[in-house]
Structures are given as structure tokens and as C-alpha cells.
Structure 1
């Protein structure tokens, strides 16, 4: 079930253009579906036979009729194709949300029926083991960069095996139709997969001269072209950083973050760089550059490739540079479906730019350039550089909000045609590691998010009321609802923390998910095998562990060497999770209706997922306070008899 959930999120994010920015809504849809499936498992009717047909319809519909979530407005910026068509987000997002919920309800119904036949903790234990197997399989396929047909074969095979014999032939037919769509996608010329994106290359009319368009998740991402063309006829941002260096500056060491297919590296070499560290988070795009870039920058002995998160590389290296470039590092996806963190969110915070300054030589220079879409974003980035470097940076703007921000260690280490002065109206605050929402202006809570979250909550309430009956009889499990909300909020906070401390790579993200499942399983085994403290003691320990995690500053953790940082971060993150799941296991063990109890808990996670958006206002660290309040509500709602028996 978890494998299908993650595979759906990945595939939809790669094919419904711009949905990768909203994959957390897809995750919430899967939670609703799983919770609904558990409630349905108590009925004498079934939705399981409809799950595979709905999955097939979704695959066929998206493949044959591509969907683009149209996004307008300047409150939040998304890096997308400049010409966008398709249904508005308020229509497309709920539709995808409901379809995913309906698809996941089928497998969840089967799991719910198994729960009814077993003791609660034994059933939960097997569910966790299966989930851990799912995340391991998902991680392995991501590592192997498996095409969509491989993911589909595994998911469809599981559907067929679990189908009743009398429906197996029909299931094979639906499965064959699904696999036909995935095979068509896999065999499309130029399509390959990285751990983050579906990557597709397109030849242009100038292909013989070294031109290639690279798309990621269906959106134009990079134009691989000869360095000389980019300087002479392409966008002027590529050459501008070198024009802002003091005359006669020698470039012994250059760091390029967002090196991609290598054009920025080739231009650095043309400008006299003696040694270049080229960093990019996506291995596939760097491989395309190594294979097809006509300038052969990655074959040059002066260049060293690093497949890594840019912020993580800055924190780990002790090398000093004459020039550090942030070369169009823009995201087309979130770190995970459970977080709003984009791949480059921690690269543009005050603390990140301070790390850049610490890696420059005494007369070094830093520059960043991109197509920034909005003037307020240019002012935010330039303001961040001014705050960290202590003086106004150079600013060069071109058509369409293209801009280059250049800051020297001193004003003598930059040669400005124009110094930066804020041009956008109103205050534009810089961003920090605690609230790394670079592309959110922050004036008001985004209306799109408010509308979508309200719709999700209403849909969840209607589902519980429709499938579970009156809410009154569910009162004994109200505490499990709040535990579910608190747990997802805690998990989301830890994903953000680990992304900051160890990088936003897919591998770090997979380790966090797997680590959470292992800790939850350990809590279940502890409760099954040993006598644990009473619930009041466990909840008090949860409060203490959350308070400790709240007071320990992340900037202090970043300053530690890797091993002690990993140990302390793991303890701060996983001790509250372990204790929370000891409390949940104790309550779940005593539940008289494990299906209803687990369903209510899962539906509570939807509330927790919605609360995660509070970080736009509070920052991530203060989510621990909200988590603590949710656990307090859970404790207060524990039935008195359960408190005494547990």
C-alpha cells in the first residue's frame, strides 16, 4: 500500500505538470483513502474491485490528455513553463485528490479486513513491516532510476495476486491497459528518470551544433547550448558575473552550484577558471552534460563533478574560492510529499549565504542569477546578500525579471554598473533556515492553499460521517485522531530538519521515512514485549522531549562535525516519535474496534498535514509547540478507563 502511494505521488508529479509543487495534497488524498478503506472494511460491501479500474482510468487519462495545473498570481512563485494552459488549480487539485483517495481505499479495505481478524498490535506490527518493505523497494527503484513501467509491473502484479480468482482475468485486462500506458511513456524517445524527475531531452533544429532542450517533469528546465552562443546570443546573465569582478582578477578556484548540463562550467573555464567544483543535485542531468555538451566541460581535467545538495556541500567543504556561483538553481519538485521544502529551499537563506561568505577567499566574490519572475524576489535575494556581506551588491536586471546579484567580500571586490536599491513596493523580508520559504512573499496566507485545505478538511469530515456513521460513537477514539495529527506534524518537522542538516537529497529523505517506520516498529515491539510506564508518564516524556527539541538551535547542530551532528539530530528527532508511538500502541492495544480506531488515527493525519502549512507563518521550529498542544488534547481525551488500564 505504501509503495503504491509513493509511486502514485512520483508518477503524477512527473506527468501532471506543476503537480510536483502540490504533491503534499496528493499525499493527503492517500491518507483520506486509507482511512476510508479501513471504515469500509467494517461494511458488508466493497470498493476493492474498483481500485484497479480507477487506477487504469487515471493513467490513461493523464497519458492521453495531459493535465497542466494553471497557476497565476505573485504571492507564491513556481518555476514553470512560461506558457501554461489547462484547468485551474482549484479544479485539478480536488479531482486528483479524490481519485487518489478512491484508488488507495481499495488496498486499505483489504488491510482493514485483516486487522479485524488479528489482535490490534499484531496487525499494526505487520502493517509497519509491510510499509518498511514498501519504502525500501521505493528507495531501491529510485536508486536504480527505474522507468515507470517497472513501477507499474510491481504494483499491477500485487493487484492481480490480491484479486479474487473469479475477478483475476478482469484484473489482468485492466492491468494490461495500465501497463500499456506506462510502456508507451517508457519507450518515448529521450525519456529517462532521475531520483527526482522524469527527464526528457528534445533535439532542436540546431542539434548538430550542440543544442538540446532538457525538460524535467514536463517543464523546460535547461537549454544545453555552446558556451560561446550563450555569451554572444543567449541570455546575458551567464557572462555578467565575470564582468562584475575587479579588473585582472585571477580565478584559481571556482564553485558552481546548479552546474546542471555544464554550460555554466564551460563559461567559467572560458573566463580563466583554473579549478572548478561543479555541484548539482541531479545525477541524470549531469550525465547528459557529460555525454552531449559540445564544449565537453566535464571532460576537462580542471573540473570536478559533485552530485550533492548545494547547501550540504557548502557546509562540508573547507575549501576557499575566488568565485562562488549559484547558477540558476531552481526547483521543479518538493523534497517529499509530506513537506513544503523545495530542493533548493535551504540554499538561499541568510544562514546559507553566510556559509557562502565563509567559503570565499578574503577578496572573493559571490554571484547568483536566474529568471526570477517577480521584482520582490530579486529584492529579497539582493537584500539577503547586502545583510550578510554588509554592503549593497551589484544588481543587473534584464528583460522578464532576469537578474544577476553580485557581492564581493568588500566593495572593492565587485565592479558594479549599478548598486542594488529596492524597487518593489512594501517590505520584503529575508528568509531563514527556520522558515525557508523563499518564493512566498508573506503578505497574506495564500488563497489557493486556504481554499484547498478547507476543501480537504470538509471532504475528510464528510467521509468520516458517511462511512463511519454518527460521530458520537467514535468519541472513545478521539484521542487517536489527535495523535495522528500530531504525529504527521512531527514527522514533517523532522523531514525539514534533516533536509537542512544533511541535504535535500532523495537518499536523506528516504532514510528519514525508513527511520520513522523503524522507530514506530520499535515502539510497537516495546509495548508488546515489555511493561511500559502509565500513559500520563509517557505523555509527560513526550512533552519533555518536544521541549528539548524546541530549545536546541539548528544552527548549533550545523556547526558540529558530521558524526555528532547525526547522533544528536537523530536523538532529538526520534525520541519524541518513539515515545509518541508507545502512547499510541498502548491505546491501540486496548481498542475494541481496531478498524475504526486506526481509521480515525489516519484521518487525523490529514489534519496534521493541513497544519503543516502553518509553518508559512510560524516557521518550522514552532510547529513543535503546535505538536505539543495536539498531544495535550490527545491526553485530555483519553478515556479514564484507558488511562487506568494502560
Structure 2
């Protein structure tokens, strides 16, 4: 249990931490997930190898942490004052292929060494007993990391937790290099945590910098985010903050989504708002604004703060507003290492803007602004036009490289309040994004070439590493069906992560709850398989197909229309019934395997392939992943049908 808990804890910590220091990974965190699955699969396949790899785990982990700290990738100013990627001390960063290759290989090595320790214990139990203990350990790892996130502990807290687990598991093996590596790990992450003005929220590494006049500049994950400015300075240097109010018929009740440190809230108060609902997903940013914004907008009794996902808040509230403002909701992170979904993606779909429109008073105004590239401005403006039936008012500010400040405004009735500059597309307007395919930053229905290259090289490296480390691939031939089950289950889990993000918010708490729910469903399946003899496993496949069909047919809008409790019950049933049945199929099959570690390793390698197939959602949408899941379980049925006969006998 402890080995499994440490394995999952380190995986989650690496997904979170590497992307906060290396901008190459900000929107590629499932890159680290794929490396983790490959490493865990290799570790289980090497369970019976003579060489004990576990003492190398802290050494490789310290090497990975040292590399990322020595070769960070951050945003900085280059010659001429333009923004560009820089490394340590302003030097050029390592080339992206080299940086990603080193991170990938070291991550594989760390997880392989950790997994071998878990696998050796795994092999000493009956198959389902081992699987049960592994799930208990995984739950412990998730709960521990979620708890540290809730407490907003910096990486030093993560390092101390991991160091304690290493010390217990290593026992007498902790001497020499492993001990030195554990100490180095704590020192390096302790230095990052204690030196400088960093704090760690559940989403970001936040750096605050004091500027002249007592102003505070905020960076998140090595990228500039905002500066907390008094209204007088905003009026002088950043007029676009006032653009949404130019054509607003009324400004009494205001909703600000993406409130950050409070600039938009301060402007709303200055413009006469009597109530401001300030929604910000990151509690640390609100706290910084509360403590350090020059105008102290969050201390005003007219302001009600909501630490929540913007889309989720709109779905839950029934209050009506004179002005709804999407204020720079452009995150520097994604929901989880298990999807390509950024925190704000569900704010920009047609369904989200329709919900925002329904919350406006009859003469209410909707506005959104950011620094847009021309094609992205066209997409958002076209989305607004699709929802309201007329083109929005567009007010442009200064350009910053390819991006330009722009504010889109429109009243509930589709009028522009006298604005004479309405939007017209630069060319063919891009189709709006929708809840099933919420990728506003993807220009067309395609998988970007960089992703394809990355996935191709990852899969090629996987084949080479499996062949080199484990030997002939034919050792896994008896477990091809478990390989397909692993790929299908990862896709099913990904679909549930994004489904719950839509229904309940893209918050870290929702994601942790979903992962815990998945593991509890797995645990329930194990207990049923232990206690009930299932003589006709084929019926489980039929039940799984029916559950997948129901999940595919029931529209997401139908669930969003329910109140909170019925929505939760419906979502849990639709999401976790297929997971339960899928794991019951796996548990029945796993119960009779000859080599638990090879079988489990094949299943984990299949999960890594499933993580690659997930990118089909960029083209087909997330609901289509259920069809892929059904096909993969069909392949599992075909390749493992002889085991169904054995189970019946």
C-alpha cells in the first residue's frame, strides 16, 4: 500500500511541478502522465528481475528535479523588449526536443524504480488481493496530495512527505546514494519553496514582485499574469478596463468572472456598482488582492467573492445581472494531467454564453475582453453572434506582438447600445466551440503536428524501452486483452474527468473527487469479484456496452438543466456504472492470470496508449471517445474470449 501510495503521489507531484517550471509542459502535462504509465508498466514487467531498482528511485528523482531547476523555461523579455522564452539567468532555454526528452526519460526511470518495489510486493499476494491493496494505496496517494494542495503547502511539503515514505520503504537500503539523494531532494525543493516570494496555490506557482509605488506584479508558472493597479492608474494607462461600461444601460449588479487580484472589481465599484459578484477559481489570487491591492476592493461590503469555476458558478446561480464580464480568463494551466482541457475552456462555448445571456436582466450587457490574436477574436465574436443573433460591438486597444487588446460587448436583446464599430470577420469566421469539443484555442478540427510528432516519438520510445528493458514482447502476448482494457479504461477515465469538470467545475477539488470516485468504483468491482462467482462474463460485456450507449445518448445539456443534487446523482450513475462494469470485467479476468505483474504491466502499457488516443477528442469531441472505448473493449473481448470459456467452466 505504501509503495503504491508513493508511486501515485510522485506521479501527481511531477505532473503539477514540472509544468510550473518548464513552459514547454504547461499545456502538455499528459506528456508526464504518459511517461509515468510507461515507467510503471516497465517496473511491473521487471518485478522478478535480479537488479533491485528501488534504491535508484530517489537518485533519479533528485536528478529530474535538479535538471528542471537548472534548465527552467520561463517567459522573459528579449532584445527590443519583446516577450520570449528564456532559461536560467536570462540565457536561452534548452531546445524543446532536448528538454522534453530528458524530462521524459528521467520520469520513466523514476516511476519504473518505484513500480518495481510495488510490483515485488504485488506478486506475493493472490491477484485480487494484490489489486485491492494497490487501489487502497492509490487512494492514499490521491488523498495525501489533495490534502497538501488544500493546505497550499509548497514543494518542500511534497518532498518531506515523499522522503518519509522513501525512508520507510528503503529501510537498510537507505544508506549511501539513496540517502544523499533524498537529502538533496529536500534541499532543492526547500530552496525553491523558501527563497524568493513564491507561494503555491492548488493551480499555480505564484511569484509576487514589488514595484514602485507599492504596486504588486503577479507571475504564475513563470508567466506574467497581472499587476494590481489603483483605479486612477487604470484610467491613465489601461482604458480598456472601462470599455465594457461605455454602452452598458445599467451597472448596478455586476458579475466579474476571472476577478484575479481585483482590478475589474475596483473598476466596477468606481463605475457605481451596488453589488459585485467576484468569481475567481484560485483562492491565492483573491487573498493577494485582499491583502495587497491598492484600492482594497475585496474589503468593500458591496463585493461578494466566490472561489469557484466561472462556468460552474453561472450554472448554479439564479441571480440576474446588469453586466456580466469575462475578464481576462486565460489560464496558464490545464485541468489535470489527464486531459487537454484548460481551466477556462468551458467558459467560451456556445452553451456557456447562452447561460450567461439567460442571467442578464432585460437591458443587461455581456462583455468579454483579452489580448486576442485576430483569428481567436473572430472565433469569440462569431460565438457571441451565434448566441445573440447579431454582431457584437468591438473596441480595440494597443497591439502586443500578434495580439491586440479587444473588448466585445452586446446587450441581451442583441443591440450594441449605440456602438458604431461592430465586428466583421477578417476572413471565414471559425466555428464556435461547444461543450463536447471545448477547444477555442484550436483553429481547426485537427491534431496539431507537434502533438502528432510527440505522440509518435513517445510510442516509438516505448516500444524500444519495453524491448530493451523487458525483453521480447511475446512475454505479454497472453495478456493482449488486458492491454486493450487498459487503453479503454484510460479513455473512460478521461471522459469522466472532463464530464465532471463541465457539470461541477474545473476545480482541483472536483478532479481529486473524480479520481477518488474512479478508484472506489474499482475497489467495489474487486470486492464483488472476490465474493461472487460470475459464470457468464459475456453478460458483463453486454452490460458495459449498454452503459456506454446510455452515456453516449444522454445529452450533457440535459444534466446541466437539473438542480445540484439530481445532477450529481445522475452524473455519478452515468459516469461510474461503466467504470464499475469495466473493472468487474478486468477483475474477473485478472483473478485467473498466471503472472500478476506481467498482466498488470501489460494493462498499464495499454493505459499509456489510451492516453495517446485521447487526442482524438481534439477532432471528434469527447463524446466520441465512448465509441472508441466500446471498440477497444470489443477487441479485448475478441482477444480474450478463450478466458470467458474458462471462467464459465
TM range, smaller chain? over 0.9
| Shift, 1:328, TM fit | 0.3
Q: Deviations over 1:85-134 (max 9, x none)?
A: 32343332232122111111111001111122111111111000000011
CA distance, structure 1, for counterparts of residue 615 and residue 173 of structure 2:
46
Which of 502, 509, 512 is residue 510 of structure 1 equivalent to? 512
Aligned to 1:284: 284
SS in 2 for 1:239: helix
DSSP-derived class of the 1:254 partner: strand
Partner of residue 589, structure 1: 591
The corresponding residue for 1:295 is 295
Q: Does the 8 A contact of 1:363 with 1:413 survive in 2?
A: no
Write the mapping of 1:167-206 to structure 2, written as runs, cut at 5 A. 167-206=174-213
Say whether residues 1:375 and 2:374 are aligned partners: yes
Partner Cα separation in structure 2 for residue 149 and residue 191 of structure 1: 12
Q: Is the aligned partner of 1:385 residue 2:389? A: no
Paired with 2:352 and 2:83, the residues of 1 have a C-alpha distance of 29
Q: 1:214 aligns with which of 214, 218, 225?
A: 218
**Is 1:117 matched up with 2:121?**
no
Partner-residue secondary structure (3-state), 1:305? strand
**How far does residue 160 in structure 1 lie from its aligned partner after superposition?**
2.0
SS of residue paired to 1:337: coil
Q: 1:622 to 1:371 in 2, by over 3 A?
A: same
> For residue 436 of structure 2, what is the aligned residue in structure 1?
434
Secondary structure of the residue aligned to 1:117 is coil
Worse-matched range after superposition: 50-59 or 359-368 = 50-59
Decide whether the 8 Å contact of 2:35 with 2:108 is kept in 1: yes
Q: What is the distance in 1 between the residues matched to 2:572 and 2:645? A: 30
Gaps of 5+ in 1: 71-80
Q: What TM-score comes out, normalization by structure 1 length?
A: 0.95
| Alpha-carbon distance between aligned partners in 1 of 2:340 and 2:568, rounded to the nearest angstrom | 23
Where structure 2 has 5 or more consecutive residues not aligned to the other structure, the ranges are 1-6, 77-81, 87-92
User: Mapping of 1:462-501 within 5 angstroms?
Assistant: 462-501=464-503
Question: Which residue of the other structure, out of 590, 608, 611, is the alignment partner of 2:610?
Answer: 608
Q: In structure 2, what is the Cα distance between the partners aligned to 1:82 and 1:438? A: 23
Q: CA RMSD in A?
A: 1.6
Structure 1 residue 318: Cα displacement: 0.6
| Alpha-carbon distance between aligned partners in 2 of 1:82 and 1:547, rounded to the nearest angstrom | 48
Which secondary structure does the structure 1 equivalent of 2:394 belong to? Answer: strand
- The answer to whether residue 236 in structure 2 is matched with residue 232 in structure 1 is yes
Describe the superposition over 1:311-350 as per-residue Cα deviations: whole angstroms up to 9, x where unpaired. 0110111111000000001111111100111100100100
Aligned pair in 2 of structure 1 residues 550, 275: CA closer, same or farther (>3 Å)?
Answer: same
Q: Does 1:82 align with 2:89?
A: no
Matching of residues 442-453 of structure 1 within 5 Å: 442=444, 444-453=446-455
Alignment-derived partner of residue 262 in structure 2: 262
Match of 1:75 in 2: none
Q: Does 2:104 align with 1:97? A: yes
Q: Give the superposition deviation at 1:643.
A: 3.3
SS at match of 1:273: coil
Question: Matches of 1:167 and 1:289 in 2, distance apart?
Answer: 45
Cα separation, partners in 2 of 1:10 and 1:633, compared to 1, 3 Å: same
Range with bigger deviation, 491-500 or 267-276? 267-276
Give the distance between the partners of 2:445 and 2:352, measured in 1 at CA.
Answer: 23
Deviation (angstroms), 1:193: 1.2
Report the CA distance between 1:169 and its aligned residue: 4.4
8 Å contact kept, 2:279–2:308:
yes
Tell me how far apart the structure 1 counterparts of residues 441 and 177 of structure 2 sit (CA, whole Å): 47
CA deviation after TM superposition for structure 1 residue 427, in Å: 4.3
Q: Alignment partner for residue 15 of structure 1, among 21, 31, 54? A: 21
For residues 31 and 291 of structure 1, do their structure 2 counterparts lie closer, same or farther at Cα, with a shift above 3 Å needed?
Answer: same
Looking at structure 1, the residues matched to 29 and 535 of structure 2 have their Cα atoms a distance apart, in angstroms, of: 39
- 1:272 partnered with 2:279: no
Counterpart CA distance in 1 for 2:506 and 2:10 is 23
Does the CA-based 8 Å contact 1:160-1:168 persist in structure 2? no
Q: 1:160 aligns with which of 154, 167, 170?
A: 167
Name the CA shift for 1:464/1:293 in 2 (closer, same or farther; >3 Å).
same
Change over 3 Å in CA distance of 1:5–1:252 after alignment to 2: same
Report whether the alignment pairs 1:67 with 2:73.
yes
Matched residue of 1:636: which SS?
A: helix
Paired position in structure 1 for 2:305: 305
Contact 1:379 1:422 in 2 (8 A): yes
Q: Aligned in 2, Cα 1:411/1:513: closer, same or farther, shift over 3 Å?
A: closer
Residue by residue over 1:359-413, the C-alpha shift from the partner in whole angstroms, topping out at 9 and shown as x without a partner, is: 00011100000112x2110001111111101111001122132111111123545
Q: State the 1:563 CA deviation.
A: 0.7
Kindly indicate whether the alpha-carbon contact (under 8 Å) linking 2:393 and 2:409 is maintained by their aligned counterparts in 1: yes
Q: Deviations over 1:15-50 (max 9, x none)?
A: 223523111110111000100111121221232222
Asked if structure 1 preserves the Cα contact closer than 8 Å seen for 2:447 and 2:616, the reply is no
Residue pair 1:476, 1:639 contacting (<8 A) in 2 also: no
Higher mean C-alpha deviation, range 398-407 or range 345-354: 398-407
Counterpart Cα distance in 2 of 1:254 and 1:555: 26
Partners of 2:68 and 2:572 lie apart in 1 by 40
How many residues were matched structurally? 627
Query: What's the counterpart of residue 345 of structure 2?
Result: 345
Partners in 1 of 2:143 and 2:173 — Cα distance?
A: 32
Three-state SS of the structure 1 residue aligned to 2:84 is coil
SS in 2 for 1:192: strand
Dislocated runs of 4+, deviation >4 Å: none
Aligned partner of 1:405 in structure 2 is 408
SS at 2:467 equivalent: helix
Q: Give 1:641 deviation, angstroms.
A: 4.2
Shift of 1:639: 4.8
Q: Residue 327 of structure 2 aligns with which residue? A: 327
TM, length-normalised to structure 2: 0.94
